[in-house]
């Protein structure tokens, strides 16, 4: 995992977070996520 501040920032940005959640729900994995998606790993 990358630094916690990145994770917190993503969680605070509700629409961005929902977009990532929707992408994950649809595809089951982070196949084409944004560069900052590396916090997930």
pLDDT at residue 6, as a whole number: 72
pTM value is 0.23
Average pLDDT rounded to a whole number, residues 26-32: 55
pLDDT at residue 41, as a whole number: 41
Does the pLDDT at position 3 exceed 70?
yes
- List all residues 6 or more positions away from 2 whose beta carbon is below 8 Å from its beta carbon: 38, 39
Q: Strands (DSSP E) along the chain, which ranges?
A: none
Question: Which is more confidently placed, 9 or 35?
Answer: 9
Q: What percent of the chain has pLDDT over 90?
A: 0
Smallest Cα–Cα separation from 40: which of 25, 20, 26?
20
Give 19's Cβ-side CA count (13 Å radius): 10
């Amino acid at each position: 995992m990358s630094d916690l501040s990145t994770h917190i920032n993503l969680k605070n940005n509700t629409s961005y977070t929902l977009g990532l959640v929707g992408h994950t729900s649809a595809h089951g994995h982070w196949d084409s996520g944004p560069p900052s998606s590396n916090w997930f790993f």
